Amino acid sequence: MVRVHIEFSGGLELLFGNQKDHDVDVPVQDGQQGLTAGHLIAWARDNMLRERPELFVKGSTVRPGILVLINECDWELSGAAESLINDGDCVVFISTLHGG
């Protein structure tokens, strides 16, 4: 089990019970070395999402237009959906679907 702090921003919190911060324990998938971001997303969709999954995920990854930060760093720098998430990491999902 990996302890992750998840934060939702930019309107995504509405899909997750209007709560911005979540501290969760995510089980590691069998056969995998560690928790990948892709798996975290799937787990969040299955266990945390209250409504409208199509606004959060598309296929196996987040919907285009949603930015993901792992420890305040762009997840694309660490392999996007293949990034490894360690214990105590902070993952932020920011939706850019609303105009600024």
CB of 44 to another protein, least distance (A): 16
Of 46 and 74, the one with the shorter C-beta distance to another protein is 74
**DSSP H helices in the chain:** 37-47
- Site membership for another protein, residue 21 (CB under 8 A): no
Question: How are beta strands 2-9 and 89-95 bridged, if at all?
Answer: parallel
For the segment 71-90, give every residue that binds another protein (CB under 8 A).
71-74, 76-86
CA distance 57 to 12: 11
Residue tagged 């930019």 (tokens): 10
CB 93 within 8 A of CB 68: yes
Residue ranges in contact with another protein by CB under 8 A: 9-11, 14, 33, 36, 38, 55, 58, 61, 63-65, 67, 69-74, 76-86, 92, 94, 96-100
